[in-house]
Amino acid sequence: MRKKSKKNNNINQTSFYFEDFLETNKKNKIFKKSSNFQDRIYLLFFFFFSLILIFSIKITHIALIKKDTFNLEKQNTQFSLLRRDIVDRNGILISRNINTYHAAVDPKLIRDKKNFLIKLRVNFPELPINEIKKNLKKNKYFRIKKRIDEVEKDRLWALGEKAIKFEPFQARMYTHGDLFSHVIGQVDYDNYGISGVEKYFDKELKDKNLKDKPLKLTLDSNIQYIINKELNSAIETFQATGGGALLINVNTGDILSLVSLPNFNINHRATISDKKYINKISKGVYELGSIFKTFTIALAIEHRLVNRNTVVKNIPKKIKCSIHEITDMKEHPKNLTVEEILVRSSNVGSAVLAKKIGEEKYKSFIKKTKLTENPEIELEEVGVPHQLKWNRCKLETISYGHGITTTPLQATALYAAMVNGGRLIVPSLIKNRKIEKKDKIISSSTSEELRGILRKVVNSKIGTASLADQDGYFVGGKTGTAESYGNKKNRINSFISIFPTYKPDYSLFIMLENPQINKNLIYNYRGVKTKAPYNTSGWNSVYVAGKIIEKIGPILAINSKEFTDQYVVEKFN
C-alpha cells in the first residue's frame, strides 16, 4: 500500500512546496493514517485471538488429557481385589481376597523409645516386646504385626505414634479352613498361586476383565463337609493312617467332593514336607486290587466271550504262574457264573477270564483308558502311575488289580465310564465348562449288564459290600483290598460305589490306609448284629461309604426327578 502511494506521489507531484496542498495528497494522507489504525486493530485482534487460542488449548488439554486430577479408575484399582473369588457349585464362597495391613515401625520417627515400648506392652501384650526392643536398637524399619484387620489398625493408630506405619496388603481368606485344603491350594504373600486350583488357574484368577465373576467349581461344600467328617471319624474308628474320598458325576465328570486326609488349614502358612499330606486322590498312586475285576468282567462281556449268567466251570483253587501263586481268600464253589466271580470277588475266576480275553485286548483297553498315564484334572498335584511291563503272569495279576498302579481319580473316572453307558469322562473341578464327548470303551448293553452285577455285589447274600446297601439309593459297587505298591506293609482298603444303579448319577470312591479291625464296633450286617471277622474293605471302607451315602443321598437326590417320582410320589399313590 505504502509503495503504491509513494508511486502515486511521484506521479502527481508538480512542485515541492505545493505538495501538501494538493487534494490528492490530502486524501492519501488520511488513507495512510486510517491504514495505520487498522493495522493496529488487526495486531491487537491477533494478539487477543492468540491469547484466547492458547487458553482454549490449555483448557481442552486439562479437560481431556490431564485425567489424573479426578481419576476414578485410579481410585477403583486402589481398592480392587487382586484375585477373583472361588465359589462352590451353589455359589458358597470358598476363598476371597480382603484388604488388610501390615503394621510396621520406623524407629527414626520415635521421640521416646521407652514410652513407645510401654504403650505397646500395655495395649498389645501379645506382641514380642523383646524382639521389638532389639529391632528398635538397630534403628531400621521393621514390621511388628502382619495381616491386621481394621479394628487392630485403629487400635494401633490410637496410640498416636507417627512411627507406626500401615502397609496395605491383600490377604486370601478361606472360609472353610481345612475342608478344601487339597483342592484349593494356597497363594504366597504376593498373591501368586502356589498349589491346587489357586496355582492351576492363577492367570484366570488374576484376570482383571473377569474380576467381578467368581471362579465356580463343581464342588459342594455341604457334601464335602459330610464326607470329610465321616472319613475323619472312620480313620479314628479303624485307626487308619489316612484316607481319601472322591464323589463324581458319572455323566459329566463333575467332581462334587474330593477329600484327602490328613489335611491342613490353608489359612495358616506353613511348609509341609511330610508325604502323608499329599493329595491321595490325584497324586497318590496305588494298586487298587479287586476293583480291577470289574474291568476284566466288562471286557469279557464286551468281547462276547461270556454274559453275566455264563457258568465258568472247574475253576481251580489256585493258579501257578511263574513264581506267583494266585489264590482266593475264601473257598468258592468250583463252578461260578461270571456274575458270581465278581460278587464273590474271586481272584482265580478273574484270572481265568483274563486268559480268555487275551493280552492284546487287555493291553489295548488299558491304552484306550489311559489308566497308566498322568491323570487329567485341573490340579498341579498329579501322580504318575508306574509303567507297565508286560512280562509273564502280568495279565493274570492285572485281572484282579495287582501289578498295576493308578490314581484313585483315574480308577473312579473309568468306573464312571463303565456304568454311564460306556463313554469315557474327564473328571473336572470347573462348573459350566465345555464338556468334550469322549470315545466309548464298552457298549451300552455291556454297561447295563455290569450295573446289574455291581448291584448284586451290594445286595446279594454272597456279596462283599452289604454294609453299603442303603435303603432307597440302589447302591452298587466293588470292593478292593490290596497292599500298597512297593510297600507291602501298607494296606489299602477301597470301595467304589455307584448309585442309583438303575440309572447311575454318582460314583463314590472311599479309601482307607492301613485300617485295623475295631473290636468294639458292632455292625448291623444283613439284620444280624456282628463284629468284623476280617480286615477287608467290606468291613471298613464299605461301612464308611454306606454311612456317607445315607447322608449325602438326600442332598444329591433333591433335584432328581426320577428319584422323586419313584420314591416320593409313588409311595403315596
Partner 1 sequence: MFKPKFIISAFTIIIFLITTPLLKNETRVLEKKILNLNLKILSKKQNLNEAQLDYHYITSPTLIEKKLSVIGFNNYQPIEYSKIFFSITDLTKIQNKISNLDNLNEKKIEKK
Nearest CB to partner 1, comparing residues 59 and 118? 59
> Does 75 contact partner 1 by CB under 8 A?
yes
CB of 146 to partner 1, least distance (A): 18
Out of 225, 277, 523, 525, the residue judged to bind partner 1 by CB under 8 A: 225
> Does 308 contact partner 1 by CB under 8 A?
no
> Does 554 contact partner 1 by CB under 8 A?
yes
Interface residues for partner 1 in 6-25 (CB under 8 A)?
none
Binding mask 24-63 for partner 1 (x = CB under 8 A): ----------------------------x--xx--x--xx
What residues pair up with 320 in beta bridges, in sequence order? Answer: 325
Kindly report the backbone phi and psi dihedral angles of residue 482, in degrees, each rounded to the nearest multiple of 5, phi listed first. -150, 165
Helix 113-123 with 129-138: angle, nearest 10 deg: 160
Nearest CB to partner 1, comparing residues 171 and 418? 171
3-state SS, 394-427, equals HHHHHHCCCCCCECHHHHHHHHHHHHCCCECCCC
Nearest CB to partner 1, comparing residues 62 and 311? 62
Nearest CB to partner 1, comparing residues 17 and 572? 572
CB of 494 to partner 1, least distance (A): 24
Of residues 141, 62, 143, the one with CA closest to residue 102:
143
Binding mask 93-112 for partner 1 (x = CB under 8 A): x--x-xx-------------
Mention every residue, 6+ apart, whose C-beta is less than 8 A from residue 117: 129, 132, 133, 136
Binding mask 254-293 for partner 1 (x = CB under 8 A): ----------------------------------------
Of residues 460, 455, 536, 458, the one with CA closest to residue 491:
536
CA dihedral defined by 19, 24, 27, 33, rounded to 10 degrees?
A: -50
Give how far Cα 381 sits from Cα of 194, 198, 284, 510, Å: 11, 12, 9, 19
Q: Please count the residues of this chain forming the interface with partner 1, following the rule CB under 8 A.
A: 44
Interface residues for partner 1 in 135-194 (CB under 8 A)?
173, 175-177, 179
- Rounded Cα–Cα distance for residues 270 and 183 (Å): 17
CB of 203 to partner 1, least distance (A): 22
> Does 243 contact partner 1 by CB under 8 A?
no
Of residues 499, 497, 341, the one with CA closest to residue 412:
497
Out of 107, 262, 358, 472, the residue judged to bind partner 1 by CB under 8 A: 472
Sole window of 157-165, 364-372, 511-519, 546-554 interacting with partner 1 (rule: CB under 8 A):
546-554
Q: Are 85 and 215 in contact (CB under 8 A)?
A: yes
- Rounded Cα–Cα distance for residues 505 and 290 (Å): 23
- Rounded Cα–Cα distance for residues 471 and 465 (Å): 14
Kindly report the backbone phi and psi dihedral angles of residue 93, in degrees, each rounded to the nearest multiple of 5, phi listed first. -65, 130
DSSP state of 428: B
Sole window of 197-205, 281-289, 319-327, 547-555 interacting with partner 1 (rule: CB under 8 A):
547-555
Half-sphere CA count of 294, side-chain side, radius 13 A: 33
CB of 459 to partner 1, least distance (A): 17
> Does 72 contact partner 1 by CB under 8 A?
yes
CB of 226 to partner 1, least distance (A): 7
**Cell 498335584 identifies what position?**
381
Q: Which residues bind partner 1 (CB under 8 A)?
A: 52, 55-56, 59, 62-63, 69-70, 72, 75-76, 79, 81, 92-93, 96, 98-99, 173, 175-177, 179, 221-222, 225-226, 229, 471-472, 550-551, 553-554, 557-558, 561, 563-564, 567-569, 571-572
